[in-house]
Every structure is written in C-alpha cells, then in structure tokens.
Amino acid sequence: FSLCNFRDLIYSRTMMNKVFGGTVHRKSVREDGVFSITLDNSCSLFRGLQKEENVLLTHGDSVDKVADGFKVVAQSGNIAAAIANEQKKLYGTQFHPEVDLTERGMDMLRNFLFEIAGCSSNFTVQNRQLNCISEIREKVDKSKVLLSGGVDSTVCTALLNKALNQEQVIAVHIDNGFMRKRESQSVEEALTKLGIKLKVVNAAHTFYNGTTTLPISEEDRTPRKRISKTLNMTTNPEEKRKIIGDTFVKVANEVIGEMNLKPEDVFLAQGTLRPDLIESASHLASGKAEVIKTHHNDTELIRKLRDEGKVIEPLKDFHKDEVRALGRELGLPEEIVSRHPFPGPGLAIRVICADEPYICKDFAETNNILKIITDFSASVKKPHTLLQRVKSCISDEEEEKLMQITSLHSLNAFLLPIKTVGVQGDSRSYSYVCGVSSKEAPHWDSLMFLARLIPRICHSINRVVYVFGSHVKEPPTDITPTFLTTGVLSTLRQADFVAHSILRESGYSSKISQMPVILTPLHFDRDPLQKQPSCRRSVVIRTFITSDFMTGIAATPDNQIPEEVVLKMVNEIKKIPGISRVMYDLTSKPPGTTEWE
C-alpha cells in the first residue's frame, strides 16, 4: 500500500520513471495555495467525497502523462492532482491531504488507512492513557515523583495522580512573577478539584532582584566573571533569560532542600510534548530555547536523577491537541485544557526592555528605502539610486501589485527604534521593527503583501507591524526607559488579559495557535513643542497560526479572525493607563519568530 505526495515521488528518479513514464513538467516557481479540484469519487481514496473539494495544492512540478496501470483520479484545471493504480493500491496526490486547509483530507486518510490498507484503530486517547498509566506504575513503583511547572504540566500532574498514590506525587509551582493574570490560581484550583495538593512558591521578588554571573566582556575568554545587574535593571534579552534560569535553579534548590527528598527515592516528571522535541531538534525554530530548557532544570538533584535515568516524560509522544483530549478525559476544566502554549520565562520575554533607542548607521537609509516602497507608484517616475535596489528584490508581478497598492492607499512605513528577534537565512538576528500606518482604514491583504516584501528588501528588518490609529507623521525616535518592574509587568498583564478574554469570548481562540501580547517602549504622538518626555508604552498583538510549530503565519483580520474582534482588543487595550498605541504584527515565521525576544 502506498499513499504519497507527488513531490516525494518526483524527486526519486526511479519512482518517477516507473510511475510517470519520465514525463514530469517542472515550473520555476512553486506556489502553494487552496484550489478546488475535480475528483473521481468512485476511486477508493475519495469514497464518500463530493465531486469538487478544496485542497492545498502545490503547483510546481506536474505530471503530463501517467505510467501504465495508473489513471488520473483528480484534476485541477488541466493539471493532474491525484493518480492511482487501484489494483496495486498505489496512490499519489499533488496536494496535501494531511493539512487543515484540505477540508476533507482526514476522510481521505481514513479511507486509505481503514478501507484500502485494512488497518484498525486502537490508537485512541483512552488506550494511550491506559498504556501511559501502566508504564508509569511499572517504572516508578513505590518511589515519589516530583513535578514543577506551570499550566503546561497540569495534564502531566493529573495523569500521574491517576496512576499513583496521592502521597507519591509532589507538585510544586514556582510563581516567578511573570505569569499571566490569575494563572497560578487557576492551576491550583483545577488541581485541587482533582484532589491534588499543589505547593505554590511565590518567588516574584526573588526573580525581580535576581542576578547571574557573566564574562567580563565579550572578548574576555578567561574564567573571570562579573555579577550582572539585577533583573529589574537589565535590558539585554540573553541576560534576562540567564538571570531567570539561574534564579529558578536557586529557588528550586531551596524548595527541594526544604522537602528533605532522598535522590534514591525520587523520580522527576516533565510535561515535555512531542512538538517540544521537534522544536528543539530544529535549529530554525529553537535558537537558544534548548539551552534555556536544560538550564532551568539543572539543579544538583535534577542532574543526578537525569544521570540515573530517573526522569520520566509520559507525554513525549503526544501532540498539543492530543494532550488537550487527554486533559479533558482526566477531568481538567476547558479553561486550562484549551489554553495556548506559554513560554517558560513568561511575560518577561514579552516586555521589550530598553534604556536607549536602537538606531544604527543604516537607520536613515533604511527609512528612505521604506519611503520608496510605500510611495512606489510616485517613486518610479523619478530616478532614485535606491529604486533599483527595491526593484532588484521583487518580481514583475510583485512590482505590478506594489504599483497598484501604493496608488490606491496612502501608507507610510518607518523604522521603530527597538530590536526584536527574527530568523534571517539560517541564523537568529536581533533587529528593527518596521511600522506601517495608513490614512484610510487598514486594507489587510495589501498590508500582508507589504509585510512579506519589506523584510526581503531590507534585511535589517525582522518584522512589520500595522500601527492602529491616525496616520503616523512623526514616528518616535526615542524610547520610554523600560525594565522588568512590578508596574511595567502589571500593565502588560492587564493588556494580555484583556486581549485573551476578548479572543476567548469571540470563539476564535482555537483558530489561533498562540497570541503573544507584547509591551514595547514606544510613545507615539508626543507634542514636540511641549517637550513632553517619552513616558507611555505601546502594545503589540501577535496572532500566530501554525500546525508544525516550525513555521507559521500571522492571522489576517477578516480572513482567519474577524476584524471586529481585533478592533475590540485594540479599543480595550487603549483604555489601560499608560498605553500609547496598539499595533498588529503582520509577520510570518520566518522571518519573524513567534515571540519577540
């Protein structure tokens, strides 16, 4: 039995000759998109489907003639979208049955597995739960299990509680002061309902006042170290993470010390999921994440347990949606189960800290290029040295579309003097954000188009955001000094709470994989005559849709999320004291990572 994507076949020359008789047509540009295909629903693969179905198709390589024994069983225009040899039970599709965008893809896979290949299904959440439970019992036996973590570990805690005796499970939650509003309470409440006692350690002030040791300077290779500033005075993202990691180790060691646990009697449980493993294996996605994760758990006891193979990860074969199903099965409330993933260092990495603006020597030139892009229809009429640079980065069709957009809409684009993390080529970079504002109401398709174009033309730009509100005439060129202090965090916590409550009430929470809300040190619209100091901050809403956790897109308002939901978030966030403007991140990954830091 075989079901595969054309592309896999096409790149194997022997398969290509065998199946297609050597006639594959290659186009220079590949484009994925949702297309309606016409299919032959007498073919076993398509049984029960309509004659027309929407699928995510890869236009690119296509088949002109099929080999003997095969026939074309689906078409998109004059392109073969699927071929089959029913006798040999071989099937090939030019589209992706495995993605959500192929509406009936699951039915096709079901047909293939159960009707064609004769598989039967026992890989159910219930069965897997039973398997997990017997594995845990066998491994842990009479020992104790220690767990620490936030909401991500709640399902793991509930599972262990079901598998073992109550006194064997020790659940600790260290509140680092970077949790969301009501997060620690809701974890505690949900676990209490299941009869699990959670030890909550409030360590917020220890974290804000935490320090780490750093090399004397970047050039200094000697083991000499200096003590960093306290976290509440640190702006460098790497240093912030390192302090949080070190402080976690310090607090965890204290807690473990107080409990008098003997290493020989203890197992350590972690709520690691399949995507965590995938994510840390991919250099594109992980960056420093892996380092941070090990660092976090690197207490003396934990290291010892790891060396002895006494770390258990019962959810390591589960994907996020499967963990959610398991959580429901275990009786956890929907609020906890359907919550979006949240990073370990929490809100700390969603505050862009700064004590000075980020303005490098390319600032002015990049702003000039941005002007040419947003005034493209006028710029092409007068010669400009930078115009050629813009043109050399875009295709003819893109040039045409840019002409059209810039003649229809009055947009302006400008650099914002802050840094965020992104992926350019194969490496991480900390670089500028580009803001776009418009005189008219936002036209989202055009903005998304610009957001794809701009980082390709200007490599020092990692992200593009839309700035809500009136046309920005004077973009800020300095910043509001911003550190991880109680006040700053409570502003972000409030904005995050408002945005997520609105998303949840709208019913679109499950359509968005993650929605970081970020606080930036940007104060717009200051009166230059009154010399008002920069004292307000601006919030960014980053909607992110992904299924593989390695790449993803921002939700387009009016397409994947209703514009009115976004506008409601914007209006409510603007009411929070100290907020200047609200922005919407338009960037896909790459070039922008999910998180801003």
Ligand X SMILES: *[C@@H]1O[C@H](CO)[C@@H](O)[C@H](O)[C@H]1NC(C)=O
Binding site for ligand X (CB under 6 A): 122-123, 127-128, 131, 148-149, 152-153, 205, 209, 211, 230, 232-233, 268, 270-271, 293, 296-297, 344, 483, 485
Q: Are 246 and 212 in contact (CB under 8 A)?
A: yes
Nearer to ligand X, 211 or 412 (CB): 211
- Give the distance from CA 537 to its chain's centroid: 24
Give Cα separations from 369 to 266, 362, 391, 400, 448 (angstroms): 60, 11, 11, 18, 18
Single out the residue of 521, 492, 594, 502 nearest to residue 552, CA to CA. Answer: 594
The smaller minimum CB distance to ligand X, of residues 302 and 467, is found at 302
Q: Is 134 part of any known ligand binding site?
A: no
227/441 with CB nearer ligand X: 227
Amino acid letter, residue 570: V
148 is in an annotated binding site: yes
β-bridge pairing 213-215 and 225-227: antiparallel
> What CA–CA distance (Å, rounded) separates 320 from 146?
22
d(CA 171, CA 188): 10
Q: How far is the CB of 228 from ligand X (least distance, A)?
A: 10
CA atoms within 13 A on the CB side of 345: 29
For residue 2 the two structure tokens come to: 């075989």
446 has binding-site annotation: no
Is residue 255 part of an annotated ligand binding site? Answer: no
Nearer to ligand X, 128 or 542 (CB): 128
Q: Can you say how many angstroms the Cα of residue 168 is from the centroid of all Cα atoms in its chain? A: 35
Sequence-separated (6 or more) residues with CB below 8 Å from residue 556? 444, 445, 448
Nearer to ligand X, 149 or 590 (CB): 149
What 8-state DSSP symbol labels residue 115? I
Comparing CB distances to ligand X, the nearer of 323 and 453 is: 323
Q: How far is the CB of 213 from ligand X (least distance, A)?
A: 12
Closer to ligand X by Cβ: residue 145 or 499:
145
Amino acid at 138: E
Residue 62, annotated as binding a ligand: no
- Please state the closest distance from residue 271 (CB atom) to ligand X, in A: 6
CB of 232 to ligand X, least distance (A): 4
- Least Å distance, CB 293 to ligand X, is 5
- Number of residue whose CB is nearest ligand X: 149
CB of 342 to ligand X, least distance (A): 10
Instruction: Establish whether 578 is an annotated binding residue.
Output: no
Rounded to a whole number of angstroms, the minimum distance from the CB of residue 113 to ligand X is 14
Please identify, using beta-carbon distances, which residue of 308 and 440 lies nearer to ligand X. 308
Residue 202 near residue 175, CB atoms below 8 Å = yes
Please give the DSSP secondary-structure letter assigned to residue 166: G
Distance of alpha carbon 555 from alpha carbon 585, whole angstroms: 9
Paired with 582 in beta bridges are: 539
Considering only the C-alpha atoms of the chain, give the largest distance between any 2 of them, rounded to a whole number of Å: 82
| Residue 171 to residue 199: CA distance in whole angstroms | 6
Q: Smallest gap, in angstroms, from Cβ of residue 483 to ligand X?
A: 5
Least distance (Å) between residue 345 CB and ligand X? 8
**Residues near 160 by Cβ (< 8 Å), separated by ≥ 6?**
136, 145, 147, 169, 269, 314
Residue with smaller CB distance to ligand X, 153 or 374:
153
Q: How far is the CB of 545 from ligand X (least distance, A)?
A: 23
CB-CB contact of 178 with 208 (8 Å): no
Q: Which is nearer to ligand X, 172 or 372 (CB)?
A: 172
Q: Is 558 marked as binding a ligand?
A: no
Structure tokens at 381: 């009429």
Structure tokens belonging to residue 545: 């849709």
Which tokens is 95 given?
A: 């589209």
Which has the closest alpha carbon to 121: 113, 111, 129? 113
What residues are designated binding site for ATP? 148-154
What residues are designated binding site? 148-154
